[in-house]
């Protein structure tokens, strides 16, 4: 049995440990939420003063807009650099002179990024050894949870990669690095700040934003889309990459893009789904191009493509995704202004599962016939899939059945609306027909002189026209199955089409079709 004295010692020990733990936690919080962020901001201020001249001080975003941040970020710069630094002057090594003092301190610097309307105004690094070194280190190489902005290892500033990717922490606790990048989630914020500045060691550049997307964050791929890809073998490959960006963007930016352009991606963590990335995508300002963007033309993307995990959490269905050339062939691309010409797909024919179709639009086709003319049973589908795109089969060609003289059974798909005149004139062995849900018109002489046609089922509730002699001279005791709700109306139409017929009519409940 433990003595009273021992119990007091245990309680005292527990109390001392608890106090020490509490003190440790307080010290930890003070350091990580106070001292280190303060040190990071002071350090960043120090290097801003080496980058900016007085006339281009970091407290202004270039539009006389003061960024609301703590006072240490907005301390006026008190150093005068040579004015030639502002004019893009370079040294003998081709490096902009305004980077010269920063390179002396750390040769890993690759550029400087400034995003108006935010506190993003930082050097951009790239380690030659450890590709993610600056994920947890500051400009001087010291340990820092804020890290630095840094360039993806496969991206290069010279020669500049076609797609340059910059990573940065989303520091919710300190508001630093790329935390305020998420302001671009708001389309109104984009409209006010559609252009950013990223100067590499070798060139000053402005960049127009072209998209705001969310992707799976494994830093490799997102459902087959590798947003970190930096080089491209062909212009078609690059344009398809841009197409993948455009369909993933939350809103459509009124900025043209072509195969000669270069991209910049700003990537940070976001938490809509575990391990996601938010990426702001930009296109380099072209030579002699105005930096103005008519943001009044910006609009939300109604069919954003997200990673599969998004739909598992939030529901919804993925939109149709094909390729740049496919989308161009249907006139669905409004951002391309290059030289590549793509032939229209409309009015072209395609073959799916041995059936021939004519493309009418980006979502509809016409049934044109079958490859095997000896076929005896045929189901015209309601929809087909071709080159990643789903099409409704909405019509039947007048010549689709010219060579199907052995056909005995036919089912017409549920998207067809009109059965054309004399469509089955050569199908003399036809015995059974099922008419689909959407047919509203059966033109004249459609089934004329088909003596073996013994069974007709009409599934449509919208049939309002049967042409002259459409069912004349079929089997004299042909059996018609009609939807109960429309049977009286349909019998009148058939009797008008074939007076004094000896057909048999039978009703069925529409529920039987389900």
pLDDT of the residue at 479:
97
CATH pick for 349-513 out of 3.40.50.300, 3.40.190.10, 3.30.70.1350, 3.80.10.10: 3.80.10.10
CB-count exposure of residue 149 (10 Å: 0-12, 13-18, 19+): buried
Q: Which pLDDT score, from 0 to 100, does residue 128 have?
A: 84
Nearest residue to 207 via CA among 149, 284, 292: 284
Residues of the chain with CATH 2.40.260.10: 90-329
Cα→Cα distances 263→84, 286, 291, 369, Å: 28, 12, 16, 46
Which pLDDT score, from 0 to 100, does residue 86 have? 57
pTM, two decimals, is 0.80
Between CA 60 and CA 296 the distance in angstroms is 25
Angle at 139 between CA 135 and CA 140, to 5 degrees: 115
Q: CATH 3.80.10.10 occupies which residues in the chain?
A: 349-513
Closest CA relative to residue 3, chosen from 18, 17, 11: 11
106-138: burial string, b at 16+ Cβ within 10 Å, e else: eebbbbbbbbbbbbbbbbbbbbeeeeebbbebb
The one-digit pLDDT tens for each residue of the chain (514 residues) are 566 666 666 666 667 666 566 665 545 545 455 555 666 677 777 888 888 753 344 444 444 343 444 433 444 333 344 445 556 788 888 899 999 889 999 999 999 999 999 999 999 999 988 888 999 999 988 888 889 999 999 999 999 999 999 999 998 878 889 999 999 999 999 999 999 999 999 999 999 999 999 998 775 556 778 999 999 999 999 999 999 999 999 999 999 999 999 999 999 999 888 889 999 999 999 999 999 999 999 999 999 999 988 999 999 988 988 999 999 999 999 999 999 999 999 999 999 999 999 999 999 999 999 999 999 999 999 999 998 899 999 999 999 999 999 999 999 999 999 999 999 999 999 999 999 999 999 999 999 999 999 999 999 999 999 999 999 999 999 999 999 999 999 999 999 999 999 999 999 997 755 5
- 121: β partners: 114
Spatial separation of the C-alpha atoms in residues 75 and 87, rounded to whole Å: 24
Which CATH class for the 90-329 domain? Answer: mainly beta
């Amino acid at each position: 049995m433990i003595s009273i004295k021992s119990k007091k010692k245990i309680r005292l020990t527990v109390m001392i440990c608890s106090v020490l733990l509490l003190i440790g936690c307080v010290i930890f919080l003070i350091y990580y939420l106070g001292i280190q962020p303060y040190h990071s901001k002071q350090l960043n201020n120090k290097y801003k003063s080496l980058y900016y001249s007085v006339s281009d001080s970091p407290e202004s975003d270039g539009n006389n807009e003061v960024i609301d941040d703590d006072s240490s970020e907005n301390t006026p710069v008190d150093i005068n650099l040579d004015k030639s630094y502002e004019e893009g002057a370079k040294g003998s090594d081709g490096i902009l002179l305004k980077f010269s003092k920063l390179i002396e301190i750390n040769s890993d610097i690759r550029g400087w990024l400034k995003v108006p309307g935010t506190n993003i105004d930082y050097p951009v690094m790239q380690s030659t050894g450890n590709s993610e070194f600056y994920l947890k280190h500051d400009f001087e190489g010291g340990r820092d949870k804020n890290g630095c902005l840094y360039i993806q290892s496969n991206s290069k500033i010279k020669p500049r990669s076609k797609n340059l990717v910059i990573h940065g922490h989303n520091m919710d606790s300190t508001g630093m690095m790329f935390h305020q990048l998420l302001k671009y989630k708001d389309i109104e914020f984009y409209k006010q700040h559609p252009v950013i500045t990223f100067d590499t060691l070798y060139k000053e550049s402005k960049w127009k934003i072209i998209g705001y997307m969310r992707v799976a964050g494994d830093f490799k791929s997102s459902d087959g889309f590798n947003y970190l890809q930096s080089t491209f073998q062909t212009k078609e490959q690059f344009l398809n990459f841009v197409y993948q960006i455009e369909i993933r963007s939350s809103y459509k930016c009124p900025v043209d893009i072509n195969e000669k352009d270069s991209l910049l991606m700003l990537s940070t963590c976001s938490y809509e789904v575990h391990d996601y990335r938010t990426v702001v995508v930009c296109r380099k300002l072209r030579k002699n191009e105005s930096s103005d963007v008519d943001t009044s033309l910006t609009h939300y993307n109604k069919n954003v493509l997200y990673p599969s995990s998004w739909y598992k959490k939030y529901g919804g269905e993925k939109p149709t995704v094909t390729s740049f050339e496919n989308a161009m062939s249907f006139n669905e691309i409004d951002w391309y202004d290059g030289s590549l010409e793509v032939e229209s797909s409309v009015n072209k024919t395609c073959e799916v599962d041995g059936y021939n179709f004519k493309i009418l639009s980006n979502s509809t086709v016409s049934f044109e016939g079958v490859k095997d003319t000896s076929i005896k049973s045929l189901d015209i589908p309601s929809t087909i899939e071709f080159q990643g795109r789903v099409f409704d089969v909405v019509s039947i060609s007048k010549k689709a059945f010219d060579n199907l003289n052995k056909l005995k059974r036919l089912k017409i798909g549920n998207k067809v609306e009109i059965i054309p005149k004399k469509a089955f004139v050569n199908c003399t062995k036809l015995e059974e027909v099922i008419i689909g849900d959407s047919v509203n018109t059966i033109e004249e002489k459609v089934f004329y002189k088909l003596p073996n046609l013994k069974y007709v089922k009409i599934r449509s509730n919208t049939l309002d026209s049967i042409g002259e002699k459409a069912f004349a001279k079929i089997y004299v005791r042909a059996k018609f199955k009609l939807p109960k709700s429309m049977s009286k109306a349909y019998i009148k139409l058939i009797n008008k089409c074939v007076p004094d017929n000896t057909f048999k009519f039978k009703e069925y409940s529409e529920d039987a079709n389900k």
